[in-house]
Structure 1
Amino acid sequence: MSQQQKTFRAIEVGDGGDGRWAAHAQALWPAAEGWMTEESRTAEGAARARKLFEAHMPELVPVLDRLARELDRPEGETFLTHATLRPFFSGCTQIGRSGTLLRNYDFEPDDCEGTIVSSHFLRPVIGTQDAAWGLLDGMNDAGLAVSLTFGGRLVHGPGFAVLIVLRYLLETCDTVDEAVGKLRSIPIAIPQNVTLVDPEKAVTVFVGPDIPLTEAPDSCAANHQHLPVPDEQERSSRTNERLSAVRAAGTDVAAMLRPPLYRPEFDAGWGTVYTAHYRPAEGRVTYYWPGESWAQSFADFAPGSRTVTMGHAG
């Protein structure tokens, strides 16, 4: 087990048009270019990405155009569609219950943006940003919260990175049912598990390029879907073990900061980068690390930074 430090930042970006979002995104651009496929650098790929975005996320097209102008980088618009990005595979465990969403995000720390963003592109949203404006998890002012985990199967098809899909759901939906309805018709490039919570309901759904949207048995998720997990995959990911543990623990933050839910294996390449506890009906989220927490809310969002130590379980 190794310990690592990482600096997380909280920023307000408004509607993306006043330079604050652009200053942050432009600084990320050298790394962001590494997300792009060869297709995204062609005129045909750019046209396909734009058409797909217009077809499935029409409400966000004015925001896409605004951010692309602000980013002002070659191929910036195509990147921001998230329709031609390289696939990424993460760990993660999450659970939704009684208006609460609790999740661990497991990844390589250096490859995680580490940005908590308060925005008002179409409506107030707070979430953990990645890939410039996508979200790993977040909530909106209607009391809806969403979070993702990788679905565990190494298949890839045409469609969006799930990061922009979570952004779209929070920008345009008020309830779990509304969000699930929109998810049914959005193509997603790799298998993902999405947990959704509002004041009345919590569900997890399985989505991916080779399956129709399928509701999970309960509102928990680790890193598998409807198929049995091969023994070798279980040994490396412990996905069934973590799913059983989170079901037993419920929305207990302390349990999320202990093995097997907390994964301090950074010397093996990745581990638990943060824990996020959303209470969307209250407009509040608290981020946790061993011995450290950081609360944010719509009523009192505090820009700033925190350097935290990861890799020692509570």
Structure 2
Amino acid sequence: MTFSAIRVGDGGDGQWAAHAQALWPVAQGWLTEEGRSPQGADRARRLFESHMPELVPVLDRLGRQLDRPAGETLLTHAALRPFFSGCTQIGGAGTLLRNYDFNPDECEGAIVSSHFLRPVIGTQEALWGLLDGMNDAGLAVSLTFGGRFVHGPGFSILIVLRYLLETCDTVGEAIGRLRSLPIAIPQNVTLVDSQRAVTVFVGPDMPLTVAADACAANHQHLPVPEEQERFSRTGERLSAVRAAGTDAAAMLKPPLYHWMSCTPTAWS
């Protein structure tokens, strides 16, 4: 797979729009049926304004640039279909190492450098959300699916990572912001700065919970059912990454080198 590296600046010069419009035929499929309705669009907008007010001018600018029906609603990430994939990550002070086991056919494949509110670089997904990234303060974040198939009102974790990097300098500040953000599906977030590394569990049915250490696979405070473990190997991978630490070579071998397709169909 070939990844693209793109500089989009503040999103106003057409570089971001050209990339996003090319992806629109696929990206629009992320939007829920509710999000396509006037009521759903209004709910998504109000949720974004309430929880991410600093990014509202950016949302408006990108929405105008995208210029597609329901484009602004999709960009709120408050009306997206749930998804999951297999991931493993571990952090140490100043170090964040991760595998993101996304099906190449379902991955945007763009490393994007932006300056919406501040310099941020990361692996982009769903037009301006992030799978992982780092800002000019040295704060780095990444995500893994939390392993529980529950869904509620809230944001996709992709825009949450964007928001944290656009507005926070440190792990402590980012955790503080995370506590008040509604998250649509269970997710594990690893946060790293030069002094600290933490993994937290978040989801629509639980308060933010700090993990025992700064690493995660695809479960949270409880193990997954046996059948799911056979499919995802999440417990096995977590044990392996704890043993390996921040050894990049271990990420290139099983069980940490592991492919698991993302899918929106596991939720009823």
SS at match of 2:101: strand
What amino acid sits opposite 2:31 in the alignment?
M
CA distance in 1: counterparts of 2:213 and 2:261, whole angstroms: 30
* Residue 44 (1) aligns with residue 30 (2): no
SS at match of 1:87: coil
Higher relative contact order (CA 8 A, sep 6+): 1
SS at match of 1:243: helix
SS at match of 2:230: helix
What does the per-residue CA deviation read over 1:160-199, in whole Å, with 9 as the maximum and x for residues that have no partner?
A: 0000000000000000000000000100000000000000
> 1:89 maps to what in 2?
84
Contact 2:223 2:235 in 1 (8 A): no
CA distance in 1: counterparts of 2:22 and 2:200, whole angstroms: 34
> 1:148 maps to what in 2?
143
* Residue 58 (1) aligns with residue 53 (2): yes
> 1:288 maps to what in 2?
none
CA distance in 2: counterparts of 1:72 and 1:230, whole angstroms: 44
Residue 227 of structure 1: CA displacement?
Answer: 1.3
1:171 to 166, 172, 175: 166
2:17 to 14, 18, 22: 22
> 1:73 maps to what in 2?
68
Residue 7 of structure 1: CA displacement?
Answer: 1.5
Q: Deviation above 4 Å: which 4+ runs of structure 1?
A: none
CA distance in 1: counterparts of 2:101 and 2:224, whole angstroms: 19
SS at match of 2:18: helix
> 2:153 maps to what in 1?
158
CA distance in 2: counterparts of 1:228 and 1:260, whole angstroms: 17
Q: How many corresponding residue pairs?
A: 262
Question: Unpaired segments of 5 or more residues in structure 2?
Answer: 263-268
* Residue 236 (1) aligns with residue 231 (2): yes
* Residue 117 (1) aligns with residue 108 (2): no
Contact 2:86 2:261 in 1 (8 A): no
> 1:221 maps to what in 2?
216
> 2:185 maps to what in 1?
190
Say which structure is richer in strand: 1
Structure 1 vs Structure 2: percent identity of aligned residues? 81
* Residue 134 (1) aligns with residue 129 (2): yes
CA distance in 2: counterparts of 1:136 and 1:246, whole angstroms: 19
SS at match of 1:228: coil
SS at match of 1:181: helix
What amino acid sits opposite 2:239 in the alignment?
S
CA distance in 1: counterparts of 2:226 and 2:161, whole angstroms: 31
What does the per-residue CA deviation read over 1:108-152, in whole Å, with 9 as the maximum and x for residues that have no partner?
A: 110110100000000000000000000000000001000000000
CA distance in 2: counterparts of 1:202 and 1:228, whole angstroms: 23
Question: Unpaired segments of 5 or more residues in structure 1?
Answer: 1-5, 271-314
CA distance in 2: counterparts of 1:229 and 1:55, whole angstroms: 34
What amino acid sits opposite 1:32 in the alignment?
A
Contact 2:187 2:202 in 1 (8 A): yes
CA distance in 1: counterparts of 2:241 and 2:149, whole angstroms: 24
Residue 269 of structure 1: CA displacement?
Answer: 4.6
* Residue 13 (1) aligns with residue 11 (2): no
TM-score, normalising length: structure 2: 0.96
> 1:210 maps to what in 2?
205
> 1:108 maps to what in 2?
103
CA distance in 2: counterparts of 1:21 and 1:88, whole angstroms: 24
Segment drifting more, 104-113 vs 122-131: 104-113
Residue 228 of structure 1: CA displacement?
Answer: 2.4
Alpha-carbon RMSD across the aligned residues, in angstroms, is 0.9
